[in-house]
């Protein structure tokens, strides 16, 4: 779009500067029909995609882009207004023009440059801006190719504060971008990793054929092992493609290198195996170690390419996270907020995003206490991940989550300060930095941003989880978490409407949220589950969200919508919730799962997400996963295989069964994402740096195209095609901790399913009765009845305590405990349980005084028993 000159005729007194650049050619001439390379240069569409640093928020005033620049900045480049993804072609001729005003008056320089170190300048044009608009016009010849150059108006360096306004920004020249045609490979789209032997096996075929087509499944040797007819599906709304689907679920033979041939096209190869996802569980969790702040990354653990020194510990050029001041006017103290995870592609650390990511790692572990297929957490135990803490007798997933928990606790406002007990919303660089930039090389000052109610409630929720989950491993840390959770919740109730500013987005994302009723509900639920305190249950049941529909079609939950987290935990974590309320809560989970199943069956690519553009948003892949998590939870609650199959099938979309025929998980699949937006893993920009580690999930298709690179490249795309595997596209291709936490939860569930065969019928019933409780202890009796047709000769009964309970003494069984998991094995004299017969054993336990609910899952020889 060529910027409008709508106000030039009204600016008769304006100064016009015409500069002819040389940049390789003495007198560049730009044809009048040359294409426009600047987006929204007349600001008729608001401020997007323009950004600023070192200034106040951008705003459009009288059709101009204006901002205030503080006085006293030492250099022109200490503040700027810019646009990324400006394409330049070496040797092509360009005309850069703009109108600028400054009040009271200041020097301004426009610089076309490489948007990352070493910030090579391609062309520049300076002016002395006055309250009356100055028009600047410069021609030049581009000295280099760059499909994603950066235009920056440097506006710092004045002793006085300035109001700067831009208008009619234009860069004409070069060539119009050719239509982007992604390489989608074969028209047969499959899960490129593979399928579980007993699970669903579906594929999508892009074809103009309207009648069913024959399909053939071939082994790696080329032998046809199965065949059938496809199902016509018409035009898929999300992709705009005419498609048919193939269901080969009845084929269950494990093997490697299978291919599917339909309509003369052959798919990428895939495997059929019950062990497909074991490594994905580890890889997706390994991402968090790679994102750790404040510690060296050990190449022996994660790979030599990923080794780096500790970042943000105050070692030059870092200004560190160990002694961080607040933004001006926010506080007069400094905090040590080292540690935690870098949030996404930048070096910021955000409590509300860290909160949901930590919750999902903790919940991945907590699920092992209540889900039959989780095998008591064997896949998440100590020494299952490559983390420095392995071998410490603590499940590695808890070690990883603790790295973030310690950071979150440090973000709490200290006692004696205004807003004590509240939590700072975020900490990040004062100004945006470019790509690539290793954490240890970041020179920007770091700042604490104001506390918010949302951040405070995030800490309350995850610290409450921490208090119950870490109790068997580190009682002191659990107690510290519990105290911080209660303090944070009380502070939030005292300050219920302290919101992060949407305008506070310089140097890091704003993560604003002005509706925190869901955070209150989630935090109250977690605190009640941990403490059993009636006051928290009162807050849970008084919340309108307790009986509302909290599972949205486009995404069951996310950092800005967390009510479903409370609902899921109330449905799964053992508690004394009244039976009728528990039944209703669980029914709401299965009802949501039914809706996601219906959506999945409607979609030709088999994902639990509607096909409209509004459902394909920034980080939309995590919405696919989170909806699958609801399906998986419904399976854990009901043992209904249709929910499990829906969760399993949802993974197909992420791993290649999509319009782009691409796996969104680095290192997984024949054709996978490699160039996610990250300052750390920036191989595309610097061959000496690695790509993101295997198991990193890309944000995915985003129909809003909220970065200029994607907007320039993908304008008019159908929703599922609104993605590009390029480091410059942060709105479609970034990595983020809350996206990978979702993937880790689902990968752990998938790994637990084995071959995903038929769900076995229950062959036992258990009565678990706590006969007496006293200060510091309790007595429990367990009766197990054989409801199956055959005798049981040798038994092992297992369950997990919800909190700090510990077995002290036992009788009529050999009872042991590891962490929260209790295992009772037969004595020699009661090993056999005949059909219809029962055995009983008992124990005395110790507890610090928290709730002692009956377990939701008790297994006999690994199979779930009916609870009575």
Query: pLDDT at residue 270 above 70?
Result: yes
**In the predicted structure, residue 16 carries a pLDDT above the cut 60:** no
Confidence of residue 2 (pLDDT cuts 50, 70, 90): very low
| Residue 332 CB burial class (10 angstroms; 0-12, 13-18, ≥19) | exposed
Q: Which of 283, 396, 734, 752 is catalytic?
A: 734
pLDDT exceeds 80 at position 24: no
pTM of the model: 0.91
Q: Is residue 3 over pLDDT 80?
A: no
Active-site residue among 124, 399, 725, 804? Answer: 725
- Give the pLDDT score at 223: 98
Distance CA 137, CA 16 (A): 8
Active site residue 734: yes
**pLDDT score of 450:** 98
Angle between helices 396-410 and 351-366 (to 10 degrees): 150
Strands of 106-113's sheet, edge to edge?
A: 51-53, 80-88, 146-154, 106-113, 121-129
**Are 739 and 266 spatial neighbours (Cβ–Cβ below 8 Å)?**
no
pLDDT, mean of residues 795-802: 98
**Could you give the C-alpha distances from 837 to 420, 742, 760, 766, 793, in angstroms and in order?**
59, 43, 20, 12, 12
Tokens of 220: 């790696």
Q: What is the pLDDT of residues 349-402, one digit of tens each?
A: 999 999 999 999 999 999 999 999 999 999 999 999 999 999 999 999 999 999
Summarised one tens digit per residue, pLDDT across range 570-629 is 999 999 999 999 999 999 999 999 999 999 999 999 999 999 999 999 999 999 999 999
Instruction: Tell me: pLDDT of 12 over 60.
Output: no
- Residue 28: the pLDDT is 60
> How would residue 14 be classed by pLDDT, with cut points 50, 70 and 90?
very low
Task: Please report, for residues 364, 468, 563, 836, the alpha-carbon distance to residue 566 in angstroms, rounded to integers and kept in the order given.
Answer: 15, 15, 5, 39
268 is catalytic: no
Adjacency order of strands within the sheet including 134-141? 15-20, 134-141, 93-103, 162-173, 64-69, 59-61
Query: Using H for helix, E for strand and C for coil, what is the string for 500-528?
Result: CCCCCCCCCCCCCCCCCHHHHHHHHHHHH
The whole-number pLDDT of residue 8 equals 26
Structure tokens at 698: 């890309």
pLDDT at 6: 27
CA 12, CA 10: separation in Å to the nearest integer? 6
pLDDT 10s digits, 83-128: 988 999 999 999 999 999 999 999 999 999 998 778 899 999 999 9
Report pLDDT for 849. Answer: 85
Ramachandran angles phi, psi of 650, nearest 5°: -60, -35
- 215 has a pLDDT exceeding 70: yes
Residue 72 has pLDDT above 70, yes or no: yes
Catalytic residue among 84, 93, 346, 645: 346
CA pair distance 868, 860, nearest whole angstrom? 15
Closest among 471, 456, 282 to 364, alpha carbons compared: 282
Could you tell me the two tokens for 331?
């506080």
What's the pLDDT score for residue 242?
98
Report whether pLDDT(19) > 70. no
Q: What are the angstrom distances between the C-alpha of 235 and each of 204, 246, 660?
A: 12, 15, 16
* Residue 195, CB-side half-sphere exposure with 13 Å CA sphere: 28
Tens digits of per-residue pLDDT, 438-496? 999 999 999 999 999 999 999 999 999 999 999 999 999 999 999 999 999 999 999 99
Alpha helices in 159-274 (DSSP H): none
* Burial category of 296 from C-beta neighbours within 10 Å (exposed 0-12, middle 13-18, buried 19 and up): middle
d(CA 352, CA 685): 30
Q: How many residues does the chain have?
A: 868
Average pLDDT over the chain, rounded to an integer: 94
372 catalytic? Reply is no
Give, for 427, the enclosing helix (H) or strand (E). strand 426-429
Q: State yes or no: is 808 an active-site residue.
A: no
Contact 265, 187 (CB under 8 A): yes
Quick one: pLDDT band at residue 5, thresholds 50, 70, 90? very low
- List, for residues 38-71, the tens digit of each pLDDT value: 999 999 989 988 988 889 989 999 999 999 999 9
Q: What whole-number distance in Å separates Cα of residue 523 and Cα of residue 762?
A: 35
Alpha-carbon span 206 to 243, nearest angstrom: 4
Residues 6+ apart with CB under 8 A from 691: 666, 674, 675, 676, 681, 683, 684
Per-residue confidence at 770, pLDDT binned at 50, 70, 90?
very high
pLDDT in tens, 488-533: 999 999 999 999 999 899 899 999 999 999 999 999 999 999 999 9
Structure tokens at 369: 């206490």
- Express each pLDDT in 627-639 by its tens digit: 999 999 999 999 9
746-768 per-position pLDDT tens digit:
999 999 999 999 999 999 999 99
DSSP 439-469: GGG--S-EEEPPEEHHHHHHHHHHHHHHHHH
Q: Is the pLDDT of residue 22 over 50?
A: no
Helix (H), strand (E), coil (C) string for 658-695: CCCCCECECCCCCCECCCCECCCCCCCCCCCCCCCCCC
Asked whether the predicted pLDDT for residue 247 surpasses 80, the reply is yes
* Whole-Å CA distances, 81 to 84, 111, 429, 811: 10, 10, 17, 74
What φ, ψ does residue 786 adopt, rounded to 5°? Answer: -85, 110
Picking from 7-11, 59-63, 306-310, 574-578, which range would have the lowest pLDDT averaged per residue? 7-11
């Amino acid at each position: 779009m060529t910027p409008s000159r709508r106000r030039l005729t009204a600016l008769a007194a304006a100064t016009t500067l015409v500069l002819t650049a040389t940049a390789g050619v003495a007198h560049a001439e730009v044809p009048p029909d040359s294409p426009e390379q600047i987006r929204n240069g007349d600001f008729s569409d608001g401020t997007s995609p323009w950004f600023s640093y070192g200034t106040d928020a951008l705003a459009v005033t009288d059709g101009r882009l204006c901002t205030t620049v503080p006085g006293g900045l030492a250099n022109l480049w200490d503040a700027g207004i810019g646009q990324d993804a400006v394409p330049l072609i070496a040797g092509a001729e360009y005309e850069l023009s703009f109108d600028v005003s400054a009040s009271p008056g200041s020097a301004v320089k426009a610089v076309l440059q490489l948007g990352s170190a070493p910030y090579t300048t391609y062309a520049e044009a300076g002016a002395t801006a006055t309250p009356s608009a100055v028009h600047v016009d410069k021609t030049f010849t581009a000295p280099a190719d760059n499909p994603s150059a950066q235009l920056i108006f440097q506006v710092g360096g004045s002793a006085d504060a300035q109001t700067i306004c831009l208008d009619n920004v234009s860069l004409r020249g070069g060539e119009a971008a050719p239509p982007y045609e992604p390489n989608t490979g074969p028209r047969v789209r499959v899960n490129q990793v593979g399928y579980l032997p007993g699970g669903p096996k579906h594929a999508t075929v892009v074809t103009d054929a309207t009648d069913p087509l024959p399909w053939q499944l071939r082994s790696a040797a080329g032998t046809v092992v199965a065949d059938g007819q496809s199902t016509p599906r018409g035009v898929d709304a999300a992709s705009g493609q005419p498609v048919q689907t193939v269901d080969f679920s009845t084929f269950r033979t494990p093997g490697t290198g299978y291919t599917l041939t339909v309509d003369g096209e052959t798919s990428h190869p895939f495997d059929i195996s019950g062990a497909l996802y074991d490594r994905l569980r580890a890889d997706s969790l390994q991402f968090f170690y790679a994102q750790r702040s404040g510690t060296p990354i050990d190449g022996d653990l994660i790979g030599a390419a990923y080794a780096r020194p500790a970042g943000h510990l105050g070692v030059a050029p870092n200004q560190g996270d160990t002694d961080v001041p607040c933004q001006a006017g926010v506080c007069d103290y400094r905090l040590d907020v080292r540690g935690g995870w870098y949030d996404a592609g930048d070096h910021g650390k955000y409590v509300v995003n860290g909160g949901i990511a930590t919750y999902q790692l903790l919940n991945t572990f907590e699920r092992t206490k209540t889900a039959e297929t989780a095998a008591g957490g064997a896949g998440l135990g100590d020494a299952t991940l490559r983390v420095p803490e392995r071998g410490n007798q603590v499940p590695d997933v808890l070690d990883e989550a603790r790295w973030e928990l310690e950071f979150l606790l440090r973000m709490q406002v200290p006692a004696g300060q205004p807003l004590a007990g509240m939590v700072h919303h975020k900490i990040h660089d004062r100004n945006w930095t470019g790509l690539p930039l290793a954490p240890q090389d970041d020179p920007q000052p770091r700042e604490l941003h104001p506390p918010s109610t949302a951040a405070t409630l995030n800490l309350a929720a995850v610290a409450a989880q921490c208090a119950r989950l870490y109790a068997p491993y580190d009682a002191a840390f659990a107690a510290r978490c519990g105290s911080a959770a209660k303090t944070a919740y009380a502070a939030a109730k005292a300050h219920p409407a302290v919101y992060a500013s949407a305008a506070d987005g310089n140097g890091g994302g704003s993560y604003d949220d002005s509706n925190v009723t869901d955070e209150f509900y989630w935090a109250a639920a977690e605190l009640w589950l941990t403490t059993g305190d009636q006051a928290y249950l009162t807050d849970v049941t008084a919340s309108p969200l307790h009986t509302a529909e909290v599972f949205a079609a486009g995404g069951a939950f996310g950092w800005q919508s967390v009510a479903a987290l409370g609902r899921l935990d109330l449905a799964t974590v053992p508690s004394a919730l009244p039976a009728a309320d528990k039944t209703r809560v669980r029914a709401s989970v299965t009802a949501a799962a039914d809706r996601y199943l219906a959506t999945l069956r409607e979609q030709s690519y088999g994902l639990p997400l509607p096909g409209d553009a509004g459902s394909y948003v920034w980080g939309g892949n995590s919405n696919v996963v989170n909806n699958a998590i609801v399906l998986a939870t419904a399976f854990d609650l009901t043992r209904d295989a249709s929910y499990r199959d829906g969760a399993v099938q949802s993974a197909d979309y992420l791993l290649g069964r999509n319009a782009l025929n691409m796996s969104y998980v680095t290192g997984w699949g024949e054709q996978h994402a490699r160039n996610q937006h990250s300052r750390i893993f920036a191989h595309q920009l610097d061959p000496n740096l690695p790509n993101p580690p295997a198991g990193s999930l890309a944000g995915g298709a985003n129909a809003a195209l909220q970065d200029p690179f994607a907007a320039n490249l993908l304008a008019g795309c159908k929703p599922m095609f609104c993605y590009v595997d390029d480091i410059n596209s942060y709105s479609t291709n970034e990595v983020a901790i809350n996206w990978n936490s979702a993937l880790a939860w689902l990968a752990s569930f998938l790994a637990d399913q084995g071959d995903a065969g038929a769900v076995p019928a229950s062959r036992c019933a258990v009565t678990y009765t706590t006969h007496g409780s006293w200060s510091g202890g309790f007595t429990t009796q367990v009766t197990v009845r054989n409801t199956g047709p055959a005798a049981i000769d040798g038994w092992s009964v297992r369950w997990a305590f919800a909190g700090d309970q510990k077995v002290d003494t036992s009788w009529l069984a050999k009872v042991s405990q590891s962490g929260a998991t209790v295992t009772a094995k037969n004595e020699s004299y009661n090993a056999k349980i005949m059909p219809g017969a029962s055995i009983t054993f008992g124990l005395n336990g110790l507890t610090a005084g928290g709730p002692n609910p009956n377990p939701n899952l008790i297994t006999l020889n690994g199979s779930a028993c009916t609870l009575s």
